[in-house]
Amino acid sequence: MFVDEAIIKVRGGRGGDGMVHFHREKYVPHGGPDGGDGGRGGNVVLEVKPTLNTLVAFRYKDRYHAQDGARGGPNNMSGKSAPDLIIPVPPGTVVMDAETGELLGDLTQPGQRLIVAHGGRGGRGNQHFATPSNQVPKMAEKGEPGEERILRLELKLIADVGIVGVPNAGKSSLLAAVTNARPKIADYPFTTLEPNLGVAELDINTTLVLADIPGLIEGAHQGVGLGDAFLRHIQRTRVLIHLLDGLSEDPLADYSQINTELALFDEKLAEKPQLVALNKIDLPEVQERWPEIQKQLRNHGVEPYAISALARTGVKELLWKAAEMLQKAPKVEEIPALPVYRPGEDPRAFTIERVPGGWRVHSKALERAASMTYWEYEAPVRRFQKLIETLGVEEALRKAGIQEGESVFIGDYELEWQD
């Protein structure tokens, strides 16, 4: 099954909690705080695996959660950091944030990696909060939550040459004739329901990777027929073989229509080097039409080839010309994978709104801090209250008209307002 789109939800591991602990040892009456730090949560990482050629694995599993870091221990022992969660993807995978549409990376090379969700840092143990005035700190941090993101994955096949044309032009037959690929072939429209890849070996030093793209019809860029689901696969190719059906009523109109669809989907597709070949030249009626079709195409500045994918007539010459054009064709512009991705929004930003039962504060910084607070200890609670005051949330709530005893919701936590 060929699957070239997927939506997945990823979450980095939570950091391990820091520990509140005091050293206890015989003959050491005042050992002091020795609570260790929590370990870091695992990252979620996409890695290119060259043996994959589809996103079908994400149809059966669409949620990925890296392991959490281990809790800190006594005697200043830090918790173990969690391993990264490695998710294999095929070459040609484009990664986007499904909610914002932001492009995160373009994975094309074997072994290439992209961190898509960072694990949270481990919470600090109470050893870090000792001061000359507070030598017995009953305070530590819980681990930071891991990043959570919904991703949209799109696969663009990586091929040197893309074979395009109207349905039944003979694209699959051409691919089967020159490679070991075995695409489905029949004499009805839309035989090919998914792109196919094949490798053509011209000689010991020259090979071409070809992609047979399902037939395009008018309106393909808007989703008519099978079009826009596969047009993206042509974007990665560097040279196009435009195959015309020799039995078509008007091959020239087909030629114009396909080029229009390519340009409407992506204007850069219209700029790709293109070879035009009339297929089915082994048939007498096509041979009879060939001089007129050749003349018409030449009038449009195109030097066409006449081939027969079935009889393999003229196929070798066509491929050698494609290899020659490939040497001169510009490299496809690729977006480098980003080793690190974090949102660029202001961490101090917040909003407040009136909700049933009280007020809700929306703030990534406060929500993260709340989830890292030990609410059973007085010192961490005071520290959190200080943070609310520092960020200006307390003043904003007062101006909004909060009353004594009303609830303030921050993330999953409910606090009671007291003056």
- Binding-site residues: 165-172, 190-194, 212-215, 279-282, 308-310
CB 191: neighbour CB atoms within 10 A? 17
Q: Cα–Cα distance between 63 and 68 in angstroms, integer?
A: 15
Binding residues for GTP: 165-172, 190-194, 212-215, 279-282, 308-310
CB 392: neighbour CB atoms within 10 A? 11
Binding residues for Mg(2+): 172, 192
**Which residues are within 8 A (CB) of 102 and not within 5 positions of it... i.e. 6 or more apart?**
96
Is the Cβ–Cβ distance between 397 and 417 less than 8 Å?
yes
Among residues 39, 6, 44, the alpha carbon closest in space to that of 147 is found at 44
Q: Cα–Cα distance between 296 and 286 in angstroms, integer?
A: 15
- Could you tell me where the beta strands, DSSP code E, fall in 53-205? 63-65, 85-89, 93-97, 103-107, 113-117, 148-155, 161-164, 196-203
CB 94: neighbour CB atoms within 10 A? 21
3-state helix, strand, coil in the chain (%, to 5): 25, 25, 50
Q: Cα–Cα distance between 419 and 399 in angstroms, integer?
A: 13
Burial-class residue 331 by CB neighbours within 10 Å (0-12, 13-18, 19+): exposed
Provide long-range contacts, Cβ within 8 A and 24+ apart, for 131-137. 134/379, 135/32, 135/33, 136/22, 136/32, 136/33, 137/33, 137/379
Q: Cα–Cα distance between 418 and 403 in angstroms, integer?
A: 8
What's 121's DSSP letter? P
Q: Cα–Cα distance between 124 and 37 in angstroms, integer?
A: 5
